[in-house]
Amino acid sequence: MAKVKGTIVVDTEKCKGCEICVVSCPTHVISMSAEVNGKGYHFAYLNDADGCTGCTNCGVVCPDGVITVYRVKVS
């Protein structure tokens, strides 16, 4: 069975910093940035690229749809 590696891309300017994605991540690889976006919100980012499995939980629960999840099979 092939292993799956994932990553996410967050539209940082549209992220409102609700932190729902942080709570929903089973591998705890999403954190909130210390920086703020143009609207003054702390935005989500992937803090451990190797730990992401591409499960899509964060993308599904994001109320603003600002998270895109990518998955690739690695052997």
Q: Tens digit of pLDDT for each residue in 14-40? A: 999 999 999 999 999 999 999 999 999
Q: How does the average pLDDT of the chain come out, rounded?
A: 95
User: Cβ(30)–Cβ(22) under 8 Å?
Assistant: yes
Query: How do residues 46-55 score in pLDDT, each as one tens digit?
Result: 999 999 999 9
C-beta separation of 57 from 30 below 8 A:
no
- Locate the domains of the chain by residue range: 3-74
Contact 67, 10 (CB under 8 A): yes
pLDDT for res 64: 95
What is d(CA 29, CA 24) in angstroms, rounded to the nearest whole number?
A: 10
Predicted local distance difference test score (pLDDT) of residue 1: 64
Paired tokens of 36? 């703020």
Class of domain 3-74: alpha beta
